[in-house]
C-alpha cells in the first residue's frame, strides 16, 4: 500500500500562543505552546474516517483501541465512521475491543513493551482489524503488537495513528492511515499523557520544562 498522506508539521512550526485558546488553569504554566488545536484534530479525524471506510471496504471491522492514549481519538474516529454509516450508501458494521500497552517512563520510551490486557485476542481470528493508536514514536511498540496479532490469524490488519513522530530513533514503521506527522518533540493533550497528566486537555500541546519537572515520576 502507498504511504498514507497526512498533514506534515515542519520542524520550524512554532505553534500558537496559549492565550489564544481555552487552556485549563491548572496547566497554564506547564505548557509552551498549542501545537495542534482541537478543531484541526477533529477535521483531520473526520477525513481519516472517510479514508478508512474507503480503504477497508464493506467488511465487518473490529476497531482495536490502544489504551490509554488512544481513547479520545478512538471515540471521535468511531463517531465519524458511525455518521458515515448513517449518511452514505456505504455502511460498515463495527465492533470494538481494547488493549493496553505501556512503554514510557517520563518522556522516554523504555524500549520494553508491557501488554496489559489483551487476553481475548482470539476473538480477532479471521476478522478485519483496525488498530487505533494515538502516536507512533519509534514504531517498536506497534511492530510488537502486530507480530502478536499475527498469532491469532486475523484476515486483515490496518493501523491508524493520529500522530507519527519524525525521530532518528524510528525503526521505519509507518501506519496505513496517519493524521499528522510531527517533529521530535514531546507532545501532550487530547489523551496523550506525561505520567498520566494532560489527558484532560483538548488541544495537543508542547510540554514546558517546568511541566516536565512538576509531573516527573
How far is the C-alpha of 183 from the C-alpha of 185, rounded, in Å? 6
| Partners of 182 in the β-ladder | 165
How far is the C-alpha of 135 from the C-alpha of 99, rounded, in Å? 15
Convert 65-94 into a string of H (helix), E (strand) and C (coil): EEECCCHHHHHHHHHHHHHHHHHCCCCCCE
How far is the C-alpha of 127 from the C-alpha of 15, rounded, in Å? 40
- Cell numbers at residue 190, please? 487530547
How far is the C-alpha of 15 from the C-alpha of 199, rounded, in Å? 19
CB 101 within 8 A of CB 116: yes
- Cell numbers at residue 71, please? 481513547
| Partners of 62 in the β-ladder | 95, 129
> Is 137 in the active site?
yes
How far is the C-alpha of 87 from the C-alpha of 207, rounded, in Å? 39
Grid-cell match 493501523, residue found = 159
CB 148 within 8 A of CB 177: no
Catalytic residue among 30, 134, 137, 176: 137
Which positions are annotated as active-site residues? 137
Amino acid at each position: 500500500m502507498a504511504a498514507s498522506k497526512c498533514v506534515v508539521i515542519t520542524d520550524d512550526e512554532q505553534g500558537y500562543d496559549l492565550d489564544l485558546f481555552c487552556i485549563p488553569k491548572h496547566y497554564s504554566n506547564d505548557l509552551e505552546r498549542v501545537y495542534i488545536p482541537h478543531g484541526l484534530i477533529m477535521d483531520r479525524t473526520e477525513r481519516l474516517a472517510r479514508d478508512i471506510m474507503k480503504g477497508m471496504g464493506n467488511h465487518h471491522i473490529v476497531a482495536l483501541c490502544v489504551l490509554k492514549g488512544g481513547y479520545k481519538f478512538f471515540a471521535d474516529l468511531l463517531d465519524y465512521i458511525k455518521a458515515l454509516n448513517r449518511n452514505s450508501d456505504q455502511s460498515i458494521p463495527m465492533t470494538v475491543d481494547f488493549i493496553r500497552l505501556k512503554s514510557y517512563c517520563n518522556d522516554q520510551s523504555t524500549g520494553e513493551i508491557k501488554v496489559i490486557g489483551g487476553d481475548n485476542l482470539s476473538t480477532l481470528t479471521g476478522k478485519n482489524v483496525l488498530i487505533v493508536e494515538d502516536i507512533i514514536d519509534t514504531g517498536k511498540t506497534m511492530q510488537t503488537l502486530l507480530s502478536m496479532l499475527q498469532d491469532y490469524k486475523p484476515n486483515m490488519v490496518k493501523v491508524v495513528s493520529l500522530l507519527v513522530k519524525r525521530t532518528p530513533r524510528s525503526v521505519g514503521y509507518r501506519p496505513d492511515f496517519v493524521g499528522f506527522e510531527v517533529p521530535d518533540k514531546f507532545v501532550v493533550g487530547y489523551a496523550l499523557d506525561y505520567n498520566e497528566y494532560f489527558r484532560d486537555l483538548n488541544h495537543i500541546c508542547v510540554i514546558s520544562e517546568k511541566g516536565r519537572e512538576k509531573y516527573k515520576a
